[in-house]
Amino acid sequence: MGFLDKFKEITNRVLEVENNIYNEKRDYLEIYERNQQLEKEIAERTSELHDANRRMLTLQHIWDMMNSSTPLENVMDAIVNSTQGELGYMHCVIIRKCVDEEGDFCRIIAQSKDNLIDRLNNIIGAPSIQTRRLSYSDNSIFSDTFNEKKIIQTKDLDLSLKAVLPQLSQEKITEILSNQPIKSIIVIPLMPREQNFGWFCVFSSREELAPAETDFLNLFAKQIETAITIADLFQAVREEAVKDALTGLYNRRYFEESLNKEVARARRQGTPFSVIGIDLDFLKKINDTYGHSFGDLAIKTIADILKSNARSIDVPARIGGEEFDILLPGIPSEGAMIAAERIRKAIERKEIDTIGHITGSLGVATFLEHTSNAEELLELTDQAMYSSKRNGRNQVTLAKSMSETSWQEIAVNTFIDILSKNRVPMAQRLSKELCQKLKDSIDEGENRQNALYMVADMLTKLYNPMHENGVVRSKVLMAVSLAKRFDLPKEDVDNLRVAVLLYDIGNLMISPGLLQKATPLTDDEKATIKNHPIIAAQKILKPISYVQDILPIIEHHHENWDGSGYPSKKSKDEIPLTSQIILIVDEYFALIEARPYRAKMSGRDAIEIIKSDAGKKWNTTLVNEFISLLEHDIV
């Protein structure tokens, strides 16, 4: 091989080496560039995962709040502040769409705490944006989100601001939008259960909305909608617990709770409040003439009138079948009389299909004017209402101060007499304890009825261990409501109250073993038990002078309408109506209570048994009114 050939061979090898080096260098560059790209993508994905993790933690935090019965306003505050603070938005706000007699409008229910809102309030002046009535237009981004059911982002900040604050001048709007970092507003519709609730608005420093951001905001909106739905359901359940099913007014329990709160406030501040009592006139006649459905219609009509005449702070309630009370905070007797007369006239003017016009009898009593005792206040209201009935109905009567001895005082003194003089056999320690509770109720002027019910329940348990606390109170309420359906005079109703507390006290003189016997009674044992009304009336109560008018009620409370009862075999109108009322009320509660010889019955089964004895144990009219009372679920 010559020199040239050798040189060419070496040159080719050098070129080959250079080519290999070049190719390897290119491969290394490609690998380096790919690594750079991968590192960039890894950094981006890490950032996205970090953002997603923050968002999920925020959602989890809000979900935990919703599952812990946190109030809706607190959940809303957490949502706007988490979104603004953790996710980098400039401002967040939740706006609700509302409607009233003036039409549609908006109001802010939650907004994030940041300098932006303070700046806005300083520019627009009072009232602040939080408390303003904001406008709503069918031609705005807000209505568009409802119509299209989707998120809308806008860069037209001035139009969005004008949509809710059209009264602002262009100069103010320019000042608000100048020198601030907001580039767009993202409006997310809130439509829980397909209802147009409002909007979740996000103020962003970015002009574009990334797809992942859209997905997240949609997810956030669903959480808000879930929170709203939960709150609505909770409110519905709460209202069912405190509202009367027929009328939608507050029930007796809520009224009594509100009354106790108002009493505490009135004593603390020294300001009076009033109660108006209303009784629908001639409900029995309406039921008998047109049927109970029209009686219900008349009751609902009065309820609607009370709602339309009540202030937002008033508490209108259905207390009994046709009885209503309205609590008027801060209103003295003069104002309450004006309000009562306005209600009376509204009832009188109202015409109902088929029935025609109805009327109501009203009574008014005022705390700190007529009495400083809550129980007496209701008693005085009741007395004034009954005065309106006795004096011709369809009128308003103002209560008089409690001057005569009330039925509670008679009952308290009677129990104290029985216990202190050992008129019934019982442990000395228990007798002294119950006596002291009754005396304390007199000295303190409070909870007299509660003390009476407690003592009556305790005495009943001595001969009936299965008796439940609270039953005596329910019996009194039921008996009084039934008596009022027959327009009995107040004196008779008061005597009935005391009689319900005392009618079975004769059982304390009978062997507990006999009363609790699970096997059939002998004739002699039956005769012993049947003697308890005479024992109560003649042996225990007769020596007590101030209950003489009550003795006939107790003595004859086991007489049957057909004359088959005891102890005197009286029949029909020979039996005091108040005695018949006690008999039917006692029978009902006996049936729904457990006994040693049988399990307790359902209310429906008890009613069927009472129906079967109509015309035998009690007259048919009484049975019909009693069943109607239970159907209205008033106690």
**Predicted confidence (pLDDT) per residue in 195-206, tens digit:** 888 888 888 888
d(CA 543, CA 547): 9
Residue 89 to residue 548: CA distance in whole angstroms: 81
pLDDT tier for residue 634 given thresholds of 50, 70 and 90: very low
Is residue 472 domain-shared with residue 326, that is, in the same domain?
no
Pairing assessment for the beta strands 351-352 and 315-318 based on DSSP bridges: unpaired
pLDDT, tens only, 19-53: 666 666 666 666 666 766 766 766 666 655 566 56
Q: Give the pLDDT band of residue 536 (cuts 50, 70, 90).
A: confident
Cross-strand partners of 92: 202
β-pair partners for 316: 326
426 and 515 part of one domain = yes
Instruction: Give the residue among 282, 327, 324 at the shortest CA–CA distance from 302.
Output: 324
Taking only the tens place, the pLDDT of each residue in 487-531 is: 888 889 999 999 999 998 988 888 877 877 778 888 888 888 888
Alpha helices of 67-114 — where are they, by DSSP H? 72-86
Select from 187, 206, 241 the last residue of a domain.
Answer: 241
Is 247 within the bounds of a domain? no
Could you give phi then psi for residue 371, rounded to 5 degrees? -165, 160
Q: Distance between CA 159 and CA 288 in Å, rounded?
A: 65
User: 313 lies in which domain range?
Assistant: 252-398
Q: What's the rounded mean pLDDT across residues 542-570? A: 90
Flag the least confident range among 213-217, 340-344, 471-475, 509-513.
Answer: 213-217
**139 lies in the same domain as 225:** yes
Going from the C-alpha of 264 to that of each of 268, 271, 584, the distances in angstroms are: 6, 10, 38
- Active-site positions? 322
Task: Return the closest-CA partner of residue 320 out of 259, 258, 382.
Answer: 382
Q: Note whether residue 514 is domain-resident.
A: yes
Give the pLDDT band (50/70/90) at residue 466.
confident
**Strand 396-398 relative to strand 360-367, pairing:** parallel
- Note whether 450 and 364 are same-domain residues: no
* Averaged pLDDT, 624-632: 84
Question: For the chain, what is the domain count?
Answer: 4
Pair of tokens at residue 133: 């009535």
| Separation between Cα atoms, residue 489 and residue 52, nearest integer Å | 75
Say whether pLDDT at 67 is over 60.
no
Dihedral angle over CA of 45, 50, 53, 59, nearest 10: -110
Q: How far apart are CA 191 and CA 148, in angstroms?
A: 12
| pLDDT band, very low/low/confident/very high, at 355 (cuts 50, 70, 90) | very high
Note whether 61 and 76 are same-domain residues. no
Determine the pLDDT at residue 375. Answer: 81
Judge if 116 and 102 occupy the same domain. yes
Strand 273-280 and strand 315-318: pairing? unpaired
pLDDT exceeds 70 at position 404: no
Lowest mean per-residue pLDDT among 445-454, 461-470, 590-599, 611-620:
445-454
Is 316 in a helix, a strand, or coil?
strand
DSSP-assigned letter for residue 550: G
Question: Are 189 and 221 within 8 A, CB to CB?
Answer: yes
Position 108 in a domain: yes
Which of 404-413, 456-465, 516-525 has the largest mean confidence?
Answer: 456-465
> pTM for the full model?
0.52
254-258: long-range contacts, CB 8 A cutoff, minimum separation 24 = 254/315, 254/317, 255/315, 255/317, 255/319, 255/325, 255/327, 258/315, 258/327
Q: Which residue has the tokens 């109607």?
A: 628
Mean pLDDT of the chain: 84
Residue, of 317 and 101, whose pLDDT is higher: 317
